[in-house]
Amino acid sequence: MNANPLLQDWNTPHQLPPFDMIRPEHFEPAFDSLFAEHLAQIDALAALSEPATFENTAAAFDRSGLRLERAQLLLDNLTSSETSPALQEVERVMASKLAEHRSRIYMHAGFFARLDAIHAQRDSLNLNEEQGRLLDLIHRDFVRAGAKLQGAARQRYAEVVSKLAELTTAFGQNVLADESEYTLPLTENDLAGLPPFLLDAARAAAEARQQPGWAITLSRSSIVPFLTFSSRRDLREQAWRAWTGRGEHPERDNRPLAKQILSLRAEQAKLLGYASFADYAIANRMAGAPAAVHALMNQVWEPAKARFESEKAMLREEAAKLGEPADIQPWDWFYLAEKVRIARYALDDAEIKPYFGLENMIAAMFDVAGRLFGLSFSERHDLKLYHPDVRAWDVSREGKVIALFLGDNYARQSKRGGAWMHVYRWQGRNGGETLPIVVNNNNFAKAGHGQTLLSFDDVRTLFHEFGHGLHGMLSNVEYRLLASPNSPWDYVELPSQLMENWALVPEVLEKHARHAETGAAIPAELVAKIKAARHFNQGFETVRYAASTLIDLALHERDDADGIDIAAFETAERERLGVPPAAGMNHRPPHFGHIFSGDAYAAGYYVYMWAEVLEAEAFGAFEEAGDPFDPELADKLYRYIYSAGDAREQRAAFRAFRGRDPQAEAMLKSRGLR
């Protein structure tokens, strides 16, 4: 084998991975070498003869393992965005090995002894806030990874973590297989009600799969428009059942995996002295404890159900006019809601989409970033990227390049569903300045010809992920472990959800929302209709989100998941909560990747609503100022939220920006629940 590129210096612009040189077979031998290299670094820190200091312990730990992290970030990104059977095999093999290596590092007795010693002296070390937070973070991560456990408990904890990595990887791969394999083929007789943009995307999807006619996939940007516009109720039901049945394929049923994951998580929490995994997970977030999450959700759940029932009454009236059954089923809701939207608000999604071409919306979000934060984006056409659909931009501020931004916006079979931000490298200055490489992933249905047109929900998604991207690009900290997206999960959604607000700023729309064929600006009356209808269907959307959140919490609040029947538990909880059958849930447990494809959002799906409370308060400051680009507020937004990362305590940082602690009332009003 030629020299392994994963073990070489990358003499590429921004040290971008040399994608064209990297093969799946490079990863396993590279990781074996990089594991040994990282462990040797920690061994050396533990063996230092001089007394432990912040610099030779916490700061040195932040500088360690960089080449391993580089390879792991690359693997994480490729297996999410451009995977293959060979890469999936690497992912399966490496999942447990990576977890085992992490346990070796975070249970390193010699290094932890030095870390524990300086942590005990932290108040006398004259550390600044960022240094103190780094020391606290590393110490907390070691403790939460089992560093204080002894004997059999120590060994068992490492075994549990390794097995969880294996199971969560398998769960995610099963969902991806279901999403990539399924299509609903359509012929000329099946197209009733479908608008041109959907027909174009469905034709392109069929061609990509070498199928005749048209094809609906399980990408949200394909399935939701089909459920919204198709007048074929039988096909809507077929599509809905495939969409909500992901993870239940007989050959790759995720329910047994979810049961094992829950059981191991409960054991993991008990080993560390927590009553449940929910207690363990939420202790590391802003909420602090499950009780705080329940307090928030209790303000939402009953008002959301009441709002849902009023919406259902509107849909029943519309169903009667259309001759549709009065017994509304989940596969009817999107279709009937669109009819009500047109009838009551004169707002037709097919009328909206021509004004929201993807290219124009990318220009809009770059414009917003320029006006708020002084950023400029220069596209790079000379970089070798991992797929032809991916684009790259140099990002500059005050005349200096501060980041590389990648945009990967289209759905494909080799890419998992959903939308997300990730990095190929974190920002930091410890040991030398490193600029972040940030990637945004969406799953828009690519047009067969002409512009890819977005629904307004798609536009919000684009701006949401760009908010995450800005969080990564604007990070301005000393230590990479504190880089902006490395924040508590119920705070990290604030920059993303906040950015969605600028998608509806009138001057942004006037400049960028241009008709795909005529180039005309979106009419003011159409914008007014979008705003007038923004509370419509919020009962449905909130119930679906809150139901998934509450079931996530209920699953992880169990103190022992042995013997749990996932399907029976879901049914029982939905009945206990009173989840309206016609609403359903955003995610059912068998395909709930947020909580079962990894642990970042486990017992944490609530974080979107927690951050929404912060977001409603934050954008409220701009509304009160009467200027969505108020320079003073924009500067504070940069300093206290987008650039600060975990270098500032989040409550204090938000208070410094807003001048007060957040209250839920603004969020409830924004959802129309007040």
Digit-coded pLDDT (tens) for 120-158: 999 999 999 999 999 999 999 999 999 999 999 999 999
pLDDT > 90 fraction of the chain, expressed in percent and rounded: 94
pLDDT in tens, 55-80: 999 999 999 999 999 999 999 999 99
Q: What is the pLDDT of residues 238-266, one digit of tens each?
A: 999 999 999 999 999 999 999 999 999 99
The string of pLDDT tens digits covering residues 473-512 is 999 999 999 999 999 999 999 999 999 999 999 999 999 9
Please give the backbone phi and psi of residue 404, each rounded to the nearest 5 degrees, phi first. Answer: -115, 130
CATH of 354-532, one of 3.30.70.1230, 3.40.50.300, 1.10.1370.40, 3.40.50.1820: 1.10.1370.40
Do 251-347+537-605 and 354-532 agree at the fold level?
yes
Are the CB atoms for 422 and 76 separated by under 8 Å? yes
- Higher pLDDT, residue 163 or 349: 163
Asked if residue 435 lies in contact with residue 451, where contact means CB atoms within 8 angstroms, the answer is no
Q: What is the pLDDT of residue 449?
A: 82
**Is residue 452's pLDDT more than 80?**
yes
Residue 561 has pLDDT above 90, yes or no: no
Mean pLDDT to the nearest integer, 291-319: 96
**Residue 619 confidence (pLDDT):** 96
pLDDT band at 448 (very low <50, low <70, confident <90, very high): confident
Which pLDDT score, from 0 to 100, does residue 227 have? 97
pLDDT of 13 > 70? The answer is yes
What are the pLDDT digits (tens) for 87-104?
999 999 999 999 999 999
- Amino acid at residue number 290: P
Q: Where are the alpha helices (DSSP H) in 47-190?
A: 54, 60-63, 66-81, 85-106, 109-120, 129-144, 151-181
- Provide the pLDDT confidence category of residue 562 given band limits of 50, 70 and 90: confident
pLDDT grade, residue 105 (50/70/90)?
very high
- Nearest by Cα to 58 from 107, 124, 123, 127: 127
Task: Select from 452, 464, 481 the least CA-distant residue to 360.
Answer: 452
312 touches 191 (CB < 8 A):
no
Please say if 55 is a catalytic residue.
no
Q: Shortest CA distance to 495 belongs to which of 377, 373, 615? A: 615
pLDDT of residue 346: 87
Binned at pLDDT 50, 70 and 90, residue 563 comes out as: confident
Q: Phi, psi (5° rounding) for residue 508? A: -70, -45
- pLDDT of 313-357, one tens digit each? 999 999 999 999 989 999 999 999 999 999 988 888 888 999 999
**402-416, pLDDT tens digit by residue?**
999 999 999 999 999
**In the block, residue with structure tokens 């609503």:** 609
Predicted confidence (pLDDT) at residue 1 exceeds the cutoff of 60:
no
pLDDT for the residue 350: 84
pLDDT, average across residues 105-114: 98
642: number of Cβ within 10 Å: 25
Q: What is the pLDDT of residue 362?
A: 98
Q: What pLDDT band is residue 35 in, cutting at 50, 70 and 90?
A: very high
Contact by Cβ (8 Å): 365, 462: yes
User: What does CATH list as the number for 251-347+537-605?
Assistant: 1.10.1370.10
pLDDT tens, 570-603? Answer: 999 999 999 999 999 999 999 999 999 999 999 9
Given 248, 318, 324, 465, the catalytic residue: 465
Tokens of 45: 């820190």
For the chain, count helices (H), then strands (E): 29, 7
Mean pLDDT of the 646-666 span:
94
pTM of the entire predicted model: 0.93
Residues 523, 526: Cα–Cα separation, whole Å: 5
Domain ranges of the chain: 5-148, 182-245, 251-347+537-605, 354-532
CATH H-level, domain 5-148: superfamily: Endopeptidase. Chain P; domain 1 (1.20.1050.40)
Q: What is the pLDDT of residues 365-388, one digit of tens each?
A: 999 999 999 999 999 999 999 999
pLDDT for position 534? 87
The sign of the torsion formed by the CA atoms of 144, 425, 640, 440 equals negative
